[in-house]
Amino acid sequence: MAEGVESIKLEALSLSEGIRESPVCILVLGMAGSGKTTFTQKLIQHAQEKFNPYVVNLDPACREVPYAAHVDIRDTVNYREVMKQYQLGPNGGIVTALNMFTTKMAQFAELVRRAGERGHKWCVIDTPGQIEVFNWSASGSIITEGLATMFPTIVIYVMDVERSACPTTFMSNMLYACSILYKTRLPFLVALNKIDLKDCGFVMDWMTDFEAFQEAQEEEHSFVSNLTRTMSLTLDTFYENLRTCGVSAKTGVGFTQLLTKILESVDEYETDYKPVYEKKRQERLAESATGPKPVDHVEEDGHAVPLGLSLQ
């Protein structure tokens, strides 16, 4: 039975305890149509026996998800009602829904902590398909940094191999991946999805052989293609440190290797990233001791405005 957030006592969750060993939080990001949600479903299936993943859906706009979520933002915030009440468009509705969810970040983190104590070694988090909404919003940063200062956290970027056969689209994906890496500052893994439709070998070639990528661009002479050629030189260093894995979310091919890559990313967090987030944790601890206490609601003209949230 799911736990209600309002009944959760937060004494057990303390920044002073340091970063816990489990569960490992896995943030799954990807462009709309990349197969991110299907990828998440297949990842959960392959990790079930050994890692017993705790599953979180943070996409408020999806009608249904192909997996059983322990925490679902749709149980917390009514996306369509948010759009109607605040007269927002689709992206504005998603941003506002995420903002409302982050007001319960402490309770959400406590649910994740309890999941780790119950034997869930991983926490798989499916994010909205509108990748920029999560990656560049304040709520996305709060969720990412909040988890990374309490639990080992990594990012998986799902990339559509079939669409990326076009050099310009490939470069757009790589720029997105690069921006996410430097924005989150967490271990980063690119899942080259849909290899059942197209082999991902050309991606590896373009990443390791600059001339191969230039040859693929020879037939294009637009401004965008010229810009892409220039950027490919700039991203050489980025490619050297990029961890990749070809998978098919439809057939399940490549997921055994993906699990190994995830474990490598967790080790990378422990050695390279944990000290950074440990420092951030100490800074947050100092701020919480001296700064103003947070409020659970906003008052306007003397009247409380309830958030109406109940996380299950």
* pLDDT tens digit sequence for 154-183: 999 999 999 999 888 898 899 999 999 989
Q: Which residues contact 203 (CB under 8 A, 6 or more apart)?
A: 159, 161, 164, 170, 192, 244
Query: What does the buried/exposed string (b/e) look like for 24-41 if buried means 16 or more CB atoms within 10 Å of the residue's CB?
Result: bbbbbbbbeebbbbbbbb
Confidence of residue 227 (pLDDT cuts 50, 70, 90): confident
- pLDDT of 311 over the 60 cut: no
pLDDT for res 135: 86
Residue 293: pLDDT over 80? no
Name the amino acid, one letter, at 236. D
Q: Where are the alpha helices (DSSP H) in 27-148?
A: 36-51, 79-86, 90-102, 105-117, 131-135, 138-148
- pLDDT at position 222, please? 67
Using DSSP's 3-state secondary structure scheme, residue 305 falls into strand
Taking the C-alpha atoms of residue 110 and residue 10, their distance in angstroms, rounded to an integer, is 7
Q: Which residue has the higher pLDDT, 191 or 231?
A: 191
Distance CA 99, CA 142 (A): 9
* Residue closest to 53 by CA, chosen among 28, 17, 77: 28
Q: Are strands 122-126 and 54-57 parallel, antiparallel or unpaired?
A: parallel
20-282 maps to which CATH number? 3.40.50.300
CA–CA separation, 90 and 86 (whole Å)? 12
Query: Which residues lie below 8 Å from residue 182, measured CB to CB, with a gap of 6+?
Result: none
Confidence of residue 291 (pLDDT cuts 50, 70, 90): low
Name the more confident of 244 and 212.
244
Core vs surface per residue 72-96: b (16+ CB within 10 A) or e: bbbebbbbeebbeeeebeeeebbbb
**Residue 191 clears pLDDT 80, i.e. is over it:** yes
Tell me what percent of the residues of the chain surpass a pLDDT of 90.
61
Instruction: Give, in order, the Cα–Cα distances in Å from 209 to each of 181, 205, 298.
Output: 22, 6, 55
Mean pLDDT taken over the chain: 86
pTM, two decimal places = 0.87
Distance CA 265, CA 131 (A): 21
CB 25 within 8 A of CB 152: yes
SS3 category, 155: strand
As a whole number of angstroms, the distance between CA 238 and CA 207 comes to: 9
Tens-place pLDDT, residues 20-32: 888 999 999 999 8
